[in-house]
């Protein structure tokens, strides 16, 4: 194990791995990424990893657009195929019509390829859909989903080639400072001297931050998902779907399986990241199955093939906190994915790397995501509520 590093990143999820990749691309050679389990063993590995631009605020829309470009380049660079741009469809209920119209206008003004489609066109994209109760539909042809584990491994592979030291199964257990300056990180395998630490520890980010003496407004909630499969029959689902009418999201996994979770509004189940039920509840399974069969009746003869729970790390306004200018010198944070930040992560890693290296603003201005927004009444407003953005 190395004895010192210029920059230590805590966490090997989408944020930490993208940050390591981008720092290494900017020429930093003395980076160390510490991960207590395997890469992508936190929220990222459990993620549905659906990618869509449909957000209320300009910054998230720009971050998604940039993230898709980064992922496309990373595919070329590594030869790995993890980005599925099969399209994304949003099914909107009548009570959200006006918000939908405002969002669509902003997306189109920002040059995003999106359009409102009628029910006839929706049926041509999703032939098995039951159209009852759907008021409006948005279609983004370039969106879709990704394989989150493969994305993280690809970022890490290039970062490693560029000289980054990546230690998996290495847990951070302490952070030392003197005169308000970070000076080392303690792990279960030894100490590493450093003047710069970035906390990208996902659901454990609160605990890591307390090691540095900085309190963060984060809560952790359990998020369940199921997979339905029929080896004898294709699902007919090629696109990712955010279905606000039935409060579910779904996307294909190969031709014979569909991954499904429940969307907002819903009750959050606050848990401790080390003590939660990794399986899905029976009631969740039957309720989710019945909602998806109501919308896609052809899935009625698909069986449950797996189910699991992961974690959302939620901030008070459901947007990440990215801050490299905190009161403690040498301490930065990229935390609080709030159930929707896989798709933002590739670009967030890039923007933060630019800020760290040049000490200047990044190519997309992320200053509005800083921690101080909660004290200065500049929280983000979410149109649809929760992680729908």
Ligand X SMILES: Cc1cc2nc3c(=O)[nH]c(=O)nc-3n(C[C@H](O)[C@H](O)[C@H](O)COP(=O)(O)OP(=O)(O)OC[C@H]3O[C@@H](n4cnc5c(N)ncnc54)[C@H](O)[C@@H]3O)c2cc1C
The verdict on 351 binding ligand X (CB under 6 A) reads no
The verdict on 147 binding ligand X (CB under 6 A) reads no
Q: What does the CA dihedral 345, 224, 253, 288 come to, rounded to 10 degrees?
A: -130
Six token digits for residue 304 = 């449950």
Exactly one of 312, 331, 380, 384 binds ligand X (CB under 6 A); that residue is 312
The verdict on 202 binding ligand X (CB under 6 A) reads yes
Stretch of 4-12, 20-28, 109-117, 263-271 lying at the interface with ligand X (CB under 6 A): 4-12
Residues 324-343 that bind ligand X (CB under 6 A): 337, 339-343
- Do residues 156 and 76 touch, judged by C-beta distance below 8 A? no
Six token digits for residue 231 = 């080896």
How far apart are CB 312 and ligand X at their closest, in Å?
6
Cis peptide before 68 (omega within 30 of 0): no
Q: Cα separation of 359 and 27, whole Å?
A: 15
The verdict on 49 binding ligand X (CB under 6 A) reads yes
How far apart are CB 120 and ligand X at their closest, in Å?
28
Stretch of 71-79, 99-107, 120-128, 197-205 lying at the interface with ligand X (CB under 6 A): 197-205
The verdict on 144 binding ligand X (CB under 6 A) reads no
Six token digits for residue 376 = 């200065």
Q: Cα separation of 15 and 70, whole Å?
A: 13
Residues 230-289 that bind ligand X (CB under 6 A): 261
- In the complex with ligand X, which residue's Cβ is closer, 46 or 355? 46
The verdict on 150 binding ligand X (CB under 6 A) reads no
How many other CB atoms are there within 10 angstroms of residue 277's CB atom?
12
Six token digits for residue 159 = 């970062």
How far apart are CB 376 and ligand X at their closest, in Å?
24
Stretch of 42-50, 135-143, 230-238, 374-382 lying at the interface with ligand X (CB under 6 A): 42-50
Closest CA to 17 of 67, 55, 84, 52: 67
Stretch of 47-55, 95-103, 282-290, 325-333 lying at the interface with ligand X (CB under 6 A): 47-55
How far apart are CB 334 and ligand X at their closest, in Å?
7
The verdict on 22 binding ligand X (CB under 6 A) reads no
Exactly one of 7, 8, 9, 14 binds ligand X (CB under 6 A); that residue is 14
3-state secondary structure of 90: strand
Stretch of 40-48, 120-128, 178-186, 293-301 lying at the interface with ligand X (CB under 6 A): 40-48
Q: Cα separation of 20 and 164, whole Å?
A: 7
The verdict on 82 binding ligand X (CB under 6 A) reads no
Exactly one of 8, 10, 248, 356 binds ligand X (CB under 6 A); that residue is 10
Stretch of 13-21, 276-284, 361-369, 371-379 lying at the interface with ligand X (CB under 6 A): 13-21
H/E element, 166: strand 165-167
Q: Show contacts of 292-295: CB within 8 Å, 24+ apart.
A: 292/228, 292/246, 292/248, 292/250, 292/258, 292/260, 294/130, 294/246, 295/91, 295/129, 295/130, 295/243, 295/245, 295/246, 295/248
- In the complex with ligand X, which residue's Cβ is closer, 342 or 384? 342
Exactly one of 9, 21, 41, 140 binds ligand X (CB under 6 A); that residue is 41
Stretch of 81-89, 128-136, 194-202, 361-369 lying at the interface with ligand X (CB under 6 A): 194-202
**Which phi and psi (to 5°) does residue 298 adopt?**
-65, -15
- For residues 159 to 178, the per-residue mask of contacts with ligand X, x marking binding by CB under 6 A and - elsewhere, is ------------xx------
What residues have CB less than 8 Å from 79, skipping those under 6 apart?
none
The verdict on 200 binding ligand X (CB under 6 A) reads yes
- In the complex with ligand X, which residue's Cβ is closer, 120 or 275? 275
Q: Cα separation of 89 and 117, whole Å?
A: 9
CA distances from 111 to 105, 169, 345 (A): 10, 43, 21
- In the complex with ligand X, which residue's Cβ is closer, 42 or 330? 42
Closest CA to 96 of 66, 61, 54, 125: 54
In the complex, which residues of this chain contact ligand X (CB under 6 A)?
Answer: 10-16, 34-37, 41-44, 46-50, 171-172, 200-204, 208, 223, 225, 261, 310-312, 337, 339-343, 345
């Amino acid at each position: 194990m190395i004895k010192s590093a210029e920059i230590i990143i805590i966490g090997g999820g989408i944020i930490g791995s993208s940050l390591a990749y981008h720092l290494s691309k900017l020429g930093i050679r003395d980076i160390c990424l510490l991960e207590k389990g395997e890469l992508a063993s936190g929220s990222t590995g459990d993620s549905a990893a659906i990618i869509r631009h449909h957000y209320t605020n300009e910054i998230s829309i720009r971050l998604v657009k940039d993230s898709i470009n980064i992922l496309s380049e990373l595919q070329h660079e590594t030869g790995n195929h993890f980005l599925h741009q099969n399209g994304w469809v949003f099914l909107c209920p009548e009570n959200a019509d006006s918000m939908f119209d405002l969002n669509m206008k902003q997306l189109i003004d920002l040059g995003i390829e999106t359009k409102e489609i009628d029910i006839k066109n929706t049926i041509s994209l999703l032939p098995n859909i039951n159209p009852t109760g759907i008021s409006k539909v948005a279609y983004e042809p370039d969106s879709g989903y990704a394989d989150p584990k493969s994305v993280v491994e690809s970022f890490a592979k290039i970062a490693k080639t560029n000289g980054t030291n990546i230690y998996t199964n290495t847990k951070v257990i302490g952070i030392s400072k003197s005169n308000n300056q970070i000076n080392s990180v303690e792990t279960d395998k030894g100490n590493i001297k450093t003047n710069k630490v970035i906390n990208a520890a996902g659901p454990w980010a609160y605990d890591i931050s307390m090691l540095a003496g900085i309190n963060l407004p984060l809560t952790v909630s359990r998020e369940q998902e199921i997979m339905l499969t029929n080896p004898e029959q294709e699902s007919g689902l090629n696109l990712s779907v955010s279905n606000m009418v039935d409060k579910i999201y779904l996307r294909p996994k190969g031709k014979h399986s569909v991954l499904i979770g429940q969307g907002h509004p819903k009750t959050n189940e606050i848990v401790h990241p080390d003590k939660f039920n990794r399986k899905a509840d029976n009631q969740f399974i039957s309720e989710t199955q019945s909602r998806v069969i109501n919308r896609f009746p052809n899935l009625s003869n698909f069986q449950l093939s797996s189910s699991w729970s992961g974690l959302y790390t939620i901030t008070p306004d459901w947007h990440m906190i990215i801050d490299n200018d905190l009161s403690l010198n040498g301490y930065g944070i990229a935390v609080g994915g709030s159930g929707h930040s896989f798709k933002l992560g590739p670009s967030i890693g890039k923007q933060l790397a630019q800020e760290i290296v040049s000490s200047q603003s990044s190519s997309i201005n992320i200053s509005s995501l800083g921690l101080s927004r909660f004290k200065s009444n500049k929280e983000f407003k979410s149109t649809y509520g929760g992680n729908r953005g």
